[in-house]
Structure formats: structure tokens, C-alpha cells
């Protein structure tokens, strides 16, 4: 679907109705009018357009309340598709998903460093072209491309300003991909994209405020309030990993000392294990730490429990600052959930300022390794379904 066609599908009232059908389906036209405060003729007219565009379909009749049985409406999930890209820092992964987040195709390729801006863009293009080659029958149903990019992103321009793990700056991702594929392209920081994906596909129900935290090679987060990402005044909201937890702590990759990331990232955990455990091999990895802990090795269990305590301190600060209804944790480090999560919760319980602050639910993502990819997909869906006000 070309860029102009996608823009024509978007309008405030259309988005309001689409989002109501998405969140309340099956639902009748009359119920949509009642709950959105739009007039019945407006609802009927827009629903007619949406059915013609095949994004909404009619289902079997609903229950009668004294008159004719109403026809119910549903989102036609496989009417359109989105390409989601998780861009770095180690791999470029691409998926094709429908409007419900169901993944149909995927591919990935490894990034070899050092790399230039031009080489990085060519790898993105190559993976997307490879995905499209197997999709000849549905190319016209693709509404756009969402890219989740690590580091600092200028969301409006779709430019990667700083990609620290790739040592790159000012990558014009949106401009290059839109020119190449003639599709709408949205680019977002990977942790914030993950947060949006959690709010759409994580099965959390209607949550007014949620923070998703990604803990892996780095530590990032995204804040979703009333279904929308919060970016902050200068687009750096969510840099949770660079919250200082100890001014005399280890040096972080950002140059400051004692950042949360310097304690709980994958590399920080490995470094602490090597320092504290004499028998730890020089080739130790985070996966090996988990396996040793899982096998009952007390020294490695202590490392992971300590990690949980430090994450808990950071999350307690987050709760005091934002007071979200829910915090969702993801990333490679949280694969050690069994050892880490109980100590996160215990620390919050001990440190939370009020009993009410302890009510923030802390959980681990159910989306697994696809959390960021589905977040990239949601970057297009939020434009289509959410009111543009």
C-alpha cells in the first residue's frame, strides 16, 4: 500500500471508531455511537468505508434488546500487514505481521563491526527486500514499515542520531527506506517501541499507565500513558539505564559513574561474576551464569539475586517518580527471571514509600524475543487505530 493510500485511511473519527472496534469487538454500530458520542449517521458512514477498505468485517448477529438483531463488527486482522524491523545492535531482524500481531514471515542477519551508515542502511534494505520476495500475493496489503532502533532517535525525522553500540550517528533511516519502498516508515527507540508493543499485544488489558524496561546489552525503557508513548521535551524520556544508583559505582559506557546499566546489563553481570567468583572462566557468558545458577551453584545464584536487588532499587525510584499501574520487564537478562524477579519484588516491597506504591504490578513480558519486533509493528498500527488529536 503506497504512502498516500495509508494517509487517506487516517482521520480522527475513523481512528476513534477503529480503536473502539479493536478494543471492544464484537460491537454493533449503535454501541459504537453510544460509547464514542459520535452520531449514528457518522458511525454508519465511516463503518461503510472501513468495510469497503476491508479493514472491518461484519460478523453474525448480536443479541436483540427488543428490536432487530444488530450486526456485529470485527477488525479484519489479515486485511493488511506491517513489516517490523528490530535494527541492531547485533542483528537486524524483520517480520511480517497482521493487524493482530500474528507473525507470518521472518528473517535476520548479523551485523559485523565496524560498519558505516551506508552499509547499515543497505543491510536494512536487503532484509526487507528478502522478506518481500516471498510475499508477492500480499504486497499491496502492506501499510508500512516500523523500525525499532537502539540509541537516540529523532522520531519526527526518523533519523538515528546516536547508535552507540554501532558507533554510528545521523542515519537517515526513514528517508532512505521510504524512497526505496514507497511505504510509510516510522522509526523509534527500541525500548520505547517495545513498550508500545507491550501495550498493544502483551495481553495487559486496559492499563492507563505502563512502563516497559528492556535489560540486555543495555538498559532502556518506554513509558506508555493512555496508549501513547511519552517522549519527553528533548526525546530522551525512558533512559532508565542511565539513572545513577551509586555515584561511586563502576564507570558506565556513557562516561558517568554508577548508572543502573553499569550494574545490571548483561556485560556488567558477567564482569561482577568474574570479579567475585575465583573459578569463573575468562570466557564466561551471561547464558553460562544462568545455567550454573539453574544447576544450583550458589555463587552464581547470589550474582543474579544481587542483580535483582539493584534492578529493584531502580524500579522503586521509577515507581516513586511515575507511579505506573504496571511495569513489564524484558530483554536477555530477564531470562533469569526465576532468580531475579523475586528479589526485584522483595526490594520494592522493602523500599516503596507508601503501601499504595507497592501496588504497581511488576511482571516479565510474555512476548519473549519478539517483544521489540512487535513493538516495531505497533508503530504503524498506533497511527491507524489511535485518534489523531
Region 3-76: CATH code = 1.10.10.10
Strands (E), 164-256: 168-171, 184-189, 209-215, 219-225, 228-230
Q: Which residues contact 202 (CB under 8 A, 6 or more apart)?
A: 328, 365, 366, 367, 371
How high is the mean pLDDT in each 10-residue block of the chain (389 residues)? Answer: 60 86 89 92 93 88 60 91 92 94 94 95 96 82 94 92 91 98 95 93 85 93 90 86 93 92 96 94 94 96 97 96 95 95 97 94 93 95 70
**pLDDT score recorded for residue 232:** 87
- Side-chain-facing half-sphere of 324: CA atoms under 13 Å: 27
**pLDDT score recorded for residue 354:** 94
**pLDDT score recorded for residue 389:** 41
Same fold, 3-76 and 80-197+372-385: no
Q: Residues for the chain: how many in total?
A: 389
**pLDDT score recorded for residue 67:** 57
Q: Give the three-state DSSP class for 205.
A: coil
CATH architecture of residue range(s) 80-197+372-385: 2-Layer Sandwich (3.30)
CATH architecture of residue range(s) 204-365: 2-Layer Sandwich (3.30)
Bridge partners, residue 330, by sequence = 214
- Nearest of 178, 157, 167 to residue 111 by alpha carbon: 167
Domain ranges for the chain: 3-76, 80-197+372-385, 204-365
Amino acid at each position: 500500500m503506497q504512502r498516500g493510500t495509508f494517509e487517506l485511511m487516517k482521520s480522527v473519527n475513523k481512528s476513534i471508531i477503529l480503536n473502539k472496534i479493536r478494543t471492544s469487538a464484537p460491537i454493533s454500530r449503535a454501541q459504537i455511537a453510544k460509547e464514542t458520542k459520535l452520531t449514528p449517521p457518522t458511525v454508519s458512514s465511516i463503518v461503510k468505508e472501513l468495510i469497503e477498505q476491508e479493514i472491518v468485517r461484519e460478523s453474525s448477529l448480536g443479541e436483540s434488546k427488543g428490536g432487530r438483531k444488530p450486526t456485529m463488527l470485527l477488525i479484519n486482522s489479515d486485511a493488511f500487514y506491517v513489516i517490523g524491523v528490530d535494527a541492531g545492535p547485533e542483528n537486524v531482524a524483520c517480520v511480517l505481521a497482521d493487524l493482530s500481531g500474528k507473525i507470518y514471515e521472518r528473517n535476520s542477519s548479523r551485523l559485523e563491526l565496524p560498519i558505516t551508515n551506508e552499509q547499515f542502511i543497505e543491510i536494512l534494505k536487503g532484509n526487507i527486500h528478502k522478506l518481500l520476495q516471498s510475499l508477492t500475493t500480499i504486497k499491496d496489503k502492506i501499510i508500512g514499515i516500523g523500525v525499532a532502533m537502539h540509541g537516540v532517535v529523532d522520531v519526527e525525522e526518523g533519523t538515528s542520531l546516536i547508535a552507540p553500540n554501532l558507533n554510528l550517528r545521523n542515519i537517515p533511516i526513514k528517508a532512505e527506506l521510504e524512497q526505496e519502498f514507497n511505504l510509510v516508515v516510522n522509526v523509534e527507540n527500541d525500548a520505547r517501541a517495545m513498550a508500545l508493543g507491550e501495550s498493544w499485544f502483551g495481553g495487559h488489558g486496559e492499563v492507563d499507565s505502563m512502563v516497559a524496561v528492556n535489560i540486555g546489552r543495555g538498559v532502556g525503557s518506554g513509558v506508555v500513558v493512555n496508549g501513547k508513548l511519552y517522549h519527553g521535551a528533548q526525546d530522551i524520556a525512558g533512559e532508565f539505564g542511565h539513572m545513577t544508583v551509586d555515584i561511586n559505582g563502576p564507570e558506565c559506557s556513557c562516561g558517568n559513574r554508577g548508572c543502573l546499566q553499569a550494574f545490571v546489563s548483561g556485560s556488567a553481570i558477567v564482569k561482577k561474576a568474574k570479579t567475585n567468583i575465583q573459578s569463573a572462566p575468562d570466557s564466561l557468558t551471561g547464558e553460562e551464569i544462568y545455567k550454573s545458577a539453574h544447576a544450583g551453584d550458589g555463587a552464581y545464584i547470589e550474582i543474579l539475586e544481587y542483580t535483582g536487588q539493584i534492578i529493584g532499587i531502580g524500579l522503586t525510584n521509577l515507581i516513586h517518580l511515575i507511579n505506573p499501574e504496571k511495569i513489564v520487564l524484558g530483554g536477555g537478562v530477564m531470562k533469569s527471571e526465576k532468580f531475579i524477579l523475586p528479589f526485584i519484588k522483595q526490594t520494592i516491597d522493602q523500599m516503596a514509600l507508601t503501601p499504595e506504591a507497592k501496588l504497581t504490578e511488576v511482571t516479565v513480558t510474555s512476548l519473549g524475543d519478539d517483544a521489540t519486533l512487535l513493538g516495531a509493528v505497533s508503530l504503524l498500527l498506533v497511527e491507524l487505530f489511535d485518534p489523531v488529536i
